[in-house]
């Protein structure tokens, strides 16, 4: 189960505009190692090296690839549980 796109759900939610940039928002749901998880991911379109004038499909696909890559590389830990 290394490929999140094939084995888990990565769902596009919306494109949102802030004062600084445009962001593509995604929801991720899946099971990995017996753990069920849900995550929200926002990808800055400019940081993903995409141009806002490109087609919506191109922006969503490019941002989804960045979101999955960064999510699989992330190292998460629980706050306050280091002493256990």
Burial pattern 3-37, b for ≥16 Cβ within 10 A else e, equals ebeeebebebeeeeeeeeebbbbbebebeeeeeee
- Looking at residue 3, its pLDDT comes to 54
Domain ranges of the chain: 4-73
Give the contacts of 75 (CB within 8 A, at least 6 positions apart).
none
Which pair of structure tokens corresponds to residue 63?
């941002």
Predicted structure pTM score: 0.74
Would you give per-residue pLDDT tens digits along the chain (84 residues)?
455 544 667 889 999 999 988 999 999 888 767 777 888 999 999 888 888 888 999 999 999 888 888 877 877 776 775 655
- Looking at residue 1, its pLDDT comes to 45
Which pair of structure tokens corresponds to residue 38?
């849900």
């Amino acid at each position: 189960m290394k490929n999140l796109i094939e084995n888990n759900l990565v769902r596009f939610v919306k494109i949102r505009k802030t004062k600084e940039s445009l962001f593509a928002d995604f929801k991720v749901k899946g099971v990995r190692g017996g753990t069920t998880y849900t995550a929200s991911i926002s990808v800055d379109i400019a940081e993903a090296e995409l141009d806002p004038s490109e087609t919506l499909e191109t922006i969503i696909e490019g941002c989804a690839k960045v979101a999955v890559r960064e999510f699989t590389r992330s190292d998460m830990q629980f706050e306050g549980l280091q002493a256990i």
